[in-house]
Amino acid sequence: MTKSLLTHFKALEDPRVIGLVTYPLPELLLGALVGVMCGAGDFEEIVLVCEEKIDFLRKFLPYANGIASPDTFQRVFDLLDAKVFSECFSSWIASLIGHVEGVVAIDGKTIRGALQPEGRALHVLSAYAHEAGLVLAQRVVDAKSNEIAAIPDLLEGLALSGAIVTIDAMGAQKEIAAAIVAKKADYVLALKGNQGNLHADVRLFFADPELAASCTSFETLDFGHGRIDERQCRVLADTGWLKERHPDWPELACVAAVTTRRTDKKSGQTSTETRFFISSLPGDAETMLKATQAHWSIENNLHWTLDVILGEDACQTRKSHAACNLATIRKMALSLCRKESSKLPIKRKIKKAALNTDFLNTLLR
């Protein structure tokens, strides 16, 4: 594991003065990773875990001067280049996952505890591989509104051939679609008011019963969490009329409408919502419905886990580079927990790692 870290993180330069370093960078990285894997939420708790696990840590690296203070962790992590750290993380993940298959969902998350001096919170954009359950890459953006500019940069470093990239309505941009197609991947992009005329044309098409009759459809019925979810996906593969009105969308192959009818079992109340999409995929309704459903795994399996299990929103580390680099460490810890083959929930794996060094060693390897 330490060899893997050194190999994939060798581009991460130690910003401190050579010869005056008491705590080597690999020891700080390993200590932070082990701390988070044992449930630590900030640098103070990371140090607490490392002090208790010092004999275990010394099986990997010398730790000749013991464990650094929380202030040292904070200072070094704030000096490390966050973008290079993220790129090293992506290189390491690529060595774990190999070829990416299935849906890659892209979405942003605000770390609410990481308030910057000007009052805004840190916003992190992530690419999440649904089938593997792993984050492929991340980028820090100034605000959610700046995700549009950051998405092409996020895509640039990823090998996505054959994958399906899903993005919410903010990512429905011709440049982003072109970047995905250039990666030999397909796109499924949600439509809302930000693509005014395009969204309106697609919505009006599906609202016309005669026109919508030419679509293929696929339906599912799910029971769980105290509700009944009925989903219908209608797909039109003949998009010539749409291309005439909205040219320059690369490889546009179909449009889709996904209608969800949700009934609360207890109250009996029902709500209905229809969402619209454009895609480079062939017009297969089942594939489209599965892709749009898989997109939500970035919210349910990543963002929820980071907040509820790893306490990301509660972390008060506010210096931007330190907060972003600690967010990368959390994703490393989550990736190792997901790669471990037992069927324990992530929360129990973290608890077990804190109590059992043999299991912690299994996670790291």
Mark whether 139 and 255 lie in a shared domain: yes
- Statement to judge: residues 191 and 211 lie in one domain: yes
- Say if residue 280 is in the same domain as residue 349: no
pTM of the model: 0.91
Residues 154, 247 within the same domain: yes
Write down which residue in 275, 302, 329 finishes a domain.
302
249 and 171 inside one domain: yes
Clarify whether residues 285 and 335 are in a common domain: no
Instruction: Please give the order of strands across the beta sheet that includes 216-224.
Output: 134-141, 121-129, 103-115, 164-167, 186-191, 270-279, 254-264, 227-236, 216-224
Per-residue CA distances from 46 to 240, 259, 282, 338 (Å)? 57, 46, 49, 21
Q: What is the pLDDT of residue 3?
A: 67
Q: Which two tokens stand for residue 306?
A: 């980071």
Find out whether 148 and 116 touch, Cβ atoms under 8 Å.
no
Question: Of 176, 108, 175, 96, whose CA–CA distance to 138 is shortest?
Answer: 108
Low-confidence ranges of the chain (pLDDT < 70): 1-4, 113-119, 143-145, 318-320
Same domain, residue pair 72 and 95: no
pLDDT at 141: 83
Same domain, 46 and 189: no
The distance in angstroms from the start CA to the end CA of the chain is 6
Report if residue 142 sits inside a domain: yes
136 is a domain residue: yes
Same domain, yes or no, for 68 and 143?
no
Verify that 144 and 262 share a domain, yes or no.
yes
What is the pLDDT, as a whole number, of residue 55?
Answer: 97
- How do residues 196-207 score in pLDDT, each as one tens digit? 789 999 999 999
| Domain region containing 260 | 86-302
Residue 314 lies in a domain: no
The helix/strand count (H/E) of the chain reads as: 17, 9
What is the maximum span of the chain, computed from C-alpha positions, in angstroms?
Answer: 76
**Could you tell me if 126 and 140 lie in one domain?**
yes
156 three-class SS: helix
Do 192 and 285 fall within a single domain? yes
**pLDDT recorded at residue 348:** 97
**pLDDT number for residue 99:** 84
Q: Which two tokens stand for residue 152?
A: 């092409």
262 C-beta neighbours (distance < 10 Å), count? 15
